[in-house]
Amino acid sequence: MMDIEEDIRGLQLDSAEENSGVVHPEDPTHEEMEKVDEMEEGAQDEILKPSQQIQADPRGKDDKASAAEHADTQDEMEEDRKRHLNVVFIGHVDAGKSTTGGQILFLSGQVDDRTIQKFEKEARDKCRESWYMAYIMDTNEEERVKGKTVEVGRAHFETETTCFTILDAPGHKSYVPNMISGASQADIGVLVISARRGEFETGYERGGQTRDHVQLAKTLGVSKLLVVVNKMDDPSVNWSKERYDEIKSKMIPFLKSSGYNVKKDVLFLPISGLVGSNIKTRVDKSLCSWWNGPCLFEALDAVEVPPRDPKGPFRMPIIDKFKEMGTLAMGKVESGSIHVGDSLVLMPNKAYVRVLAVHRDDDKVRRAGPGENVRVTLNGIEEKDILSGFVLSSPEKPIAAVTEFVAQLQILELLDNVDNLICIEKFSDFAQLGRFTLRTEGKTVAVGKVTDLPVIARA
């Protein structure tokens, strides 16, 4: 009998421990049990009321979750205080664009010494010792064998205030369409000019790519230009102020005629891309006693570009597309912002798509703003149905798709009629999407800006 009582007592103690260790010496009375039942029923009613409201309006929960997600994303963007700018390197073939771009990446810590040593050996094996820095930007074998950039090279570096994307445009006239692709994404242009005797003159003469690239850059919206006079360390130049001033005096009138405000939007500076002089730090006075201006990094940091509206209608011209675990589109956000989960419309084929993922450069993010280069994973469209030049837009205010428009035109050569559907904006509404270039048979025949669109295009 005593054993049974001890077992019961043990069970009561176990039960008490499960209830926060509180032991109740007496059982509750019948009246107390009724009160407990009433309290439990009331609590169930209180619990059910919010639940019933959620079931009646399930959209409210989704809206709150969506709002919270966007708020978190906004916080994420605010923490990233550095501005993002695209810099396109343009100029005549062999001016040293890829070499200068490679030197920038090396000096900013994007390339290690072991990689440089590997490129030096590869360049020596090809009997092209001075090309090793260009190999950082020129990554495919065709470019390294020929010593000419074919595709638009892309790389990233940072200063204390800015994240830069380098766009290394090809200088050869056969690849001008690729140069246009690079310049159309750029905020700043770096015009690389060779100071070596004969090389500047070849690029500057009519038919040279120095002239063509300047005109195209201005037309494509590159409003700020750094003119770097490269190869100043060449024995034929030896950091000569006279040679630098000669080049500058010839370029200024041409830049003015191309539409640049030289005093406000253009800066000249001497550099050596091969050895890295006046790029990250100012050139030593023992080499160039007459230069008192900034180095290239300082000049890039100081450039001010017009602000874009992160809350404006979304615009992202497509520059490339491919299939990789879904349909991906690449481009630069020109206006508005893009979030994971957004519904957008792809013009001009009016395909409605949903954003599944956003990558900014190499990082997966939930939101990207104007001026940033992104890769977007889309649902609702196949890769084959996207072409370069299409534009992702806000469904509420899509970009116009027209076959005709009113423009202010500078005709360089006569051209047959054009009758293709294109996506375009008025220059006064979106400067980045309101300029155009007409080319045929490898030549630029006209440049201009859109002044008006047909009324039906806004319907």
Highest mean predicted confidence (pLDDT) among 260-269, 320-329, 418-427: 260-269
What would the mean pLDDT of 163-179 be, rounded to a whole number? 65
- Smallest Cα–Cα separation from 101: which of 39, 176, 182, 45? 182
pLDDT at 290 over 90: yes
Q: Please, are residues 168 and 89 in contact by the beta-carbon 8 Å criterion?
A: yes
pLDDT at 338: 94
Straight-line distance from the first to the last Cα atom of the chain, in angstroms, rounded to the nearest whole number: 94
Choose between 401 and 177: higher pLDDT.
401
DSSP 198-256: THHHHHHSTT-HHHHHHHHHHHTT--EEEEEEE-TTSTTTTT-HHHHHHHHHHHHHHHH
Q: Which domains are delineated in the chain?
A: 83-302 (3.40.50.300), 315-393 (2.40.30.10), 406-452 (no CATH)
> Bigger pLDDT: 139 or 68?
139
- Higher-confidence residue of 315 and 77: namely 315
3-state secondary structure of 271: coil
Angstrom distance (rounded) from CA 133 to CA 104 = 10
Q: Which pTM does this prediction carry? A: 0.66
User: How sure is the predictor about 291, in pLDDT bands with cuts at 50, 70 and 90?
Assistant: very high
| Residues 299-343 pLDDT 10s | 999 998 877 788 899 999 998 898 888 899 998 898 899 999 999
| The pLDDT of residue 5 is above 90 | no
What pLDDT is recorded for position 341? Answer: 95
Average pLDDT on 260-283 reads 94
> Mean pLDDT for the chain?
76
Q: Is 351 helix (H, G, I), strand (E, B) or coil?
A: strand
Q: Which two tokens stand for residue 311?
A: 């809350």
Q: pLDDT (tens digit, 9 = 90+) per residue, 82-114?
A: 788 888 888 888 888 888 888 898 888 887 778
Q: What DSSP state is assigned to residue 282?
A: P
**Amino acid at position 249, single letter:** S
Sorting pLDDT into bands at 50, 70 and 90, what band is 78? very low
What's the whole-number mean pLDDT along residues 138-154?
52
209 close to 75: Cβ distance less than 8 angstroms: no
Residue with structure tokens 């009113």? 406
Interhelix angle 209-219/241-257, nearest 10 degrees: 50
pLDDT of residue 124: 73
60-84 per-residue burial string, b: 16 or more CB within 10 A, e: under 16:
eeeeeeeeeebeebeeebeeeeeeb
Q: Which long-range contacts (CB under 8 A, 24 or more apart) does 204-209 make?
A: 204/92, 204/250, 204/251, 204/254, 208/92, 209/91, 209/92, 209/93, 209/171, 209/172, 209/173, 209/176
